[in-house]
């Protein structure tokens, strides 16, 4: 994709690669690198700098909501799931079943799980807040240890 800008954020739980257009954030994903490889440039869009700064505030326990613009690409169903995820409050958790019910499709539990796994905006669309109906941690694209850390981090600052 041309016209994309990238910046790495070194979080306490690994490098996060942020991608954006000049207008909106496109992805926020954990990457398996030990060090950030790209940093702010003169042409870095404001939205990318804002995202970087807001993630930094989140990890310092100073922010629980994000205000920069972002775009999601996916099916209508995936967008419904991702929108429902944003309704799970900071330091709270939900289940795949609760999300399925909230979007009016209570039998779509597995499909909700699949959509959750395709989320490209880690932390901002808080898929880490989804746990199993039994209260146990379920899969997380960034790794269960990161999910556990994020949930613990949010509870600490709530």
Which are the catalytic amino acids?
127
Buried b / exposed e over 9-29, threshold 16 CB at 10 Å, is bebebbbbbbbbbeeebbbbb
What is the total residue count of the chain?
A: 158
- Pair 141, 28: CB distance under 8 Å: no
Tell me the backbone φ, ψ of residue 42, rounded to 5 degrees: -60, -35
């Amino acid at each position: 994709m041309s016209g994309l800008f990238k910046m790495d954020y070194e979080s306490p739980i690994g490098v996060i690669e942020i991608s954006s257009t000049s207008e909106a954030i496109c992805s926020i994903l954990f990457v398996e690198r030990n060090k950030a490889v790209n940093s702010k440039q003169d042409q870095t869009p404001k939205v990318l700098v804002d995202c970087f700064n807001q993630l930094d505030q989140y990890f310092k326990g100073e922010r629980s909501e994000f205000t920069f613009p972002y775009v999601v690409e996916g099916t209508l169903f995936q967008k419904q799931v991702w929108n429902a995820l944003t309704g799970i409050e900071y330091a709270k958790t939900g289940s795949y079943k609760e999300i399925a019910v909230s979007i009016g499709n209570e039998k779509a539990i597995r499909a909700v799980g699949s959509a959750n796994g395709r989320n490209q905006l880690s932390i901002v669309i808080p898929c880490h807040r989804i746990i199993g109906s039994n209260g146990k941690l379920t899969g997380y694209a960034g790794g269960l240890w990161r999910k556990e850390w994020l949930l613990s981090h949010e509870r600490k600052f709530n």
